[in-house]
Structure 1
Amino acid sequence: MIGPQAQDSFERIFFAAARTRLVTDPQHACEIAPAPGDLAQGEHAVLLTISSMQFRLLLLLHVKDDEATRAYYMGGAEGVLVDTFMEFCNLCCGAMNQQLVEHFPDLGMSTPYALGSQCLPYLRVLKPDHVKSYALTIDGTVRLGATLCICTRSPLDFVAVEAVEAHDSAGELELF
């Protein structure tokens, strides 16, 4: 029920958001490659949702609590990695929401929450119309996984002219 142009548009919007919002420095590269099947890279999956009258998009970002990831996102600070990582995930989802609202004015976005990555196979229960997994490498050392899952109730196709790189933000609160 999701047309090829919509699939491509969702992917491009996610890629642009990930490349600007999942990095701690705009100079850091975020390489994204398709991953086979239900790839879960890490013990935690942060789930974010964007919903409209036409679709529900679930974005799961998989993180492993290892030394490289902790150093990248925590910078030596004490605390829980997944809590800090959820802030980056929220920025990524917000950037996607900003792009999608141009095509779907009735969007709602959830707050991020962490799940065990063993929950990934349960996405099938939702009977999604489109699921795709990606392997992300940030700054050459941090490895993340991402799963984009889209459910619709009716045929959906749209073209995002160009997924723009998200503008720099000082973390201001956006009210909808």
Structure 2
Amino acid sequence: MITEQTRHSLDGIFTRAVQSRMALHAGDTCEVRPLPRDRDQHHGQEQDSKSMVVLTISSLHFRLLMMFHIDETPETQAYFAGEVEGRCFREVFYETANLCCGAVNQELLKHFPDLGMSTPFTLDSRCAMFLRELDPGFTARYAIVINDTLRLSATLCLCDYATVDFAWDDSAVEEVSGELELF
């Protein structure tokens, strides 16, 4: 069982993480807005995108999947890898998505000890239509708009193995950067 308090907390944690990690340059804007909840998760922008970058945070009580749906357009590639000479788009996007997932992980560690986090990997976006096979207790979709022009979407999928209940205090968020995390 996943409480409404937990759903609200995950929404806040994810939104804050995306806004602080996906906007790469000072002065960039990053809008994150929830998309309507649907029983069918394999439509809309996810269907239009070609790739899905997936990361997981796992504990004994739950597994949280974070999926970023991307279309590797020239605009998307230019934003994420354009200024990093000699590095490919996926490499830079993986690092950005990993930073975002790490920010979520740090907040969840305050409530759940012993979390594990995966490295990013890419799946074809059509795999999203099989999310229901995981029997998630909670799924949320988000539109992400950077600088009013670059559009991505994301899906959070929480599979619960026990009751998941916590409250996130958004006023107590510390801004931390540059820490090395060992796995």
TM-score (norm 1): 0.91
Q: Against the structure 1 CA distance between its residues 118 and 166, is the aligned structure 2 distance closer, same or farther, given a 3 Å change threshold?
A: farther
Letter in 1 for 2:142: Y
Letter in 1 for 2:8: D
**Counterpart selection for 2:160 from 143, 152, 156:** 152
CA displacement 1:84-134 (0-9 Å, x = unmatched): 211100000001001110000111100000111111011111000001111
Pairwise CA distance, 1:163: 6.8
Alignment of 1:75-114 (within 5 A): 75=82, 77=85, 79-114=87-122
The question of 1:69 aligning with 2:57 is answered: no
In the alignment, the residues of structure 2 paired with residue 71 and residue 166 of structure 1 have an alpha-carbon distance, to the nearest angstrom, of 31
Q: Against the structure 1 CA distance between its residues 138 and 164, is the aligned structure 2 distance closer, same or farther, given a 3 Å change threshold?
A: farther
In the alignment, the residues of structure 1 paired with residue 3 and residue 135 of structure 2 have an alpha-carbon distance, to the nearest angstrom, of 16
| Other structure's SS at 1:18 match | helix
Structure 1 stretches of 4+ with a deviation exceeding 6 A read none
Letter in 2 for 1:89: A
| Other structure's SS at 1:157 match | coil
CA displacement 1:114-172 (0-9 Å, x = unmatched): 111111011111000001111100111211110000011122211011176663523x4
Aligned to 2:18: 18
In the alignment, the residues of structure 1 paired with residue 174 and residue 142 of structure 2 have an alpha-carbon distance, to the nearest angstrom, of 20
RMSD: 1.8
Pairwise CA distance, 1:83: 2.4
Q: Against the structure 1 CA distance between its residues 137 and 150, is the aligned structure 2 distance closer, same or farther, given a 3 Å change threshold?
A: same
Aligned to 2:64: 57
Aligned to 1:175: 182
Task: List gaps (5 residues or longer) in structure 1.
Answer: none
Aligned to 1:123: 131
Q: Against the structure 1 CA distance between its residues 166 and 92, is the aligned structure 2 distance closer, same or farther, given a 3 Å change threshold?
A: farther
